[in-house]
Structure 1
């Protein structure tokens, strides 16, 4: 059985192009009955949301974001949930802007919060 994303926080492993998500961006995921959604912010993103579905280890969602320069952008992403040996979850993503030209791949990994 695939592990739930509900309540997990993810962060990109590397920066993307300016105006996109970067290592300071944090995604707070939720999951229920095959639906997924997340709020995200940080770096060049003031506020972002994604919503979609999960079937097994495949996520399919749309995203929209407000950037620090006051512009908005939206797109589509398909991700594969991977569980590396260290026990964290990783999302290997293929995305495409719908509001402008451009596409690419990225990886986000589960952030493990350490107690002080």
Structure 2
């Protein structure tokens, strides 16, 4: 299993559609005993939260967020944790909105101090 997510900050490598997470969004992850959670904000997202589980290198979680336009949205995501050659972590994600139409794939990677 790739190392824990506890204390890591991750960011998308590309922008999604308007009103969703993008390269300016930052996810602050926590992990304990197979439980994961994160707070996130930035870009079009005022505040977001996710909570779920980790089994090996697979994450399964639900997310909810508030956009700058005042709308709330929620969905489900399954991710695979991958260690990059430079030691940073990457999450390869498949997500689907539950509160509206839409689904897709995205990648978030660990942000280092000089990236932020």
- Taking structure 2 as the reference length, what is the TM-score of the superposition? 0.97
Deviation at 1:88, TM superposition (A): 0.4
| RMSD of aligned residue pairs (Cα, Å) | 0.6
Is 2:18 the counterpart of 1:18? yes
Deviation of 1:63 after TM superposition, in Å, equals 0.0
Query: Deviating runs (4+, > 2 A) in structure 1?
Result: none
Give a deviation string over 1:24-79, Cα, whole Å, max 9, x none. 00000000000000000000000000000000000000000000000000000000
How many residues are matched? 114
Match of 1:107 in 2: 107
**Equivalence for 2:61:** 61
Alignment of 1:78-97 (within 5 A): 78-97=78-97
TM score, norm. by length of structure 1: 0.97
Cα distance in 1 for residues equivalent to 2:38 and 2:84:
22
Kindly indicate whether the alpha-carbon contact (under 8 Å) linking 2:2 and 2:83 is maintained by their aligned counterparts in 1.
no
